Amino acid sequence: MSIYDLIFYLFAAITVLSALMVVSSDNIVRSAFYLLATFFGVSGLYVLLGADFVAVTQIMVYIGGILILLLFGVMLTSNITNVEIKKGMKNVIPAIVGIGIFLAATISMMTNTNWKTQPGEIPQTTSFELGKLLITDYVLVFELLGILLLIALIGAASMARKEQE
């Protein structure tokens, strides 16, 4: 077992356990903070896959952006701790059936697919290649996404603005 395996299992455990806690916790703020651990775990997994840029983006966008937004929303809502959150065992049998089917499908997919494997180095750095690809092969998508975000930004600003008489 190399140290990378150890780290992988550590991150995997963090991700899975904290994801479980997110759904089972009865305090919505705690759920949000468990989500923090989940995001960290996922970004750790990305690092192990050699996707350093994606990993950092994961931290930046999900923790620095989405999670903070979520927390803001939760904390600025009054009486948030008193909200009844639906959890616990309900519809156990359909759930088990659903999970079972999904699991079976995934496993069969994993075993039956003829995965293309290719011996190769984990790229040392990805940001340079990613940047190149973004402004050559995928430039249209990139620009469209940019426009979409800009529209969203303008929309948000105009909604937040005070109505002027």
Distance CA 139, CA 135 (A): 5
CB of 69 to another protein, least distance (A): 9
- Written as six digits, the tokens of 10 are 């550590």
Among 9, 65, 105, 139, binds another protein (CB under 8 A): 65
Residue numbers 10-49 binding another protein by CB under 8 A: 27, 29-30, 33, 36, 40
Residue whose CB is less far from another protein, 24 or 125:
125
Nearer to another protein, 12 or 59 (CB): 59
Give yes or no for residue 130 binding another protein (CB under 8 A).
no
Q: Are 39 and 72 in contact (CB under 8 A)?
A: no
Binding flag, residue 155, another protein (CB under 8 A): no
3-class SS at 62?
Answer: helix
Q: State the nearest-atom distance from the C-beta of 56 to another protein, in Å.
A: 5
Task: Please tell me the distance from the alpha carbon of residue 54 to that of residue 61, in angstroms, as a whole number.
Answer: 10
- Name every residue whose Cβ is closer than 8 Å to that of residue 125 and which is 6 or more positions away in sequence: 52
Alpha helices in the chain (DSSP H): 3-24, 28-48, 52-57, 68-76, 92-112, 127-135, 139-160
Given candidates 26, 100, 122, 128, which one binds another protein under the rule CB under 8 A? 128
Smaller CB distance to another protein: residue 9 or 102?
Answer: 9
Instruction: Give 27 or 106: the residue with its C-beta nearer to another protein.
Output: 27
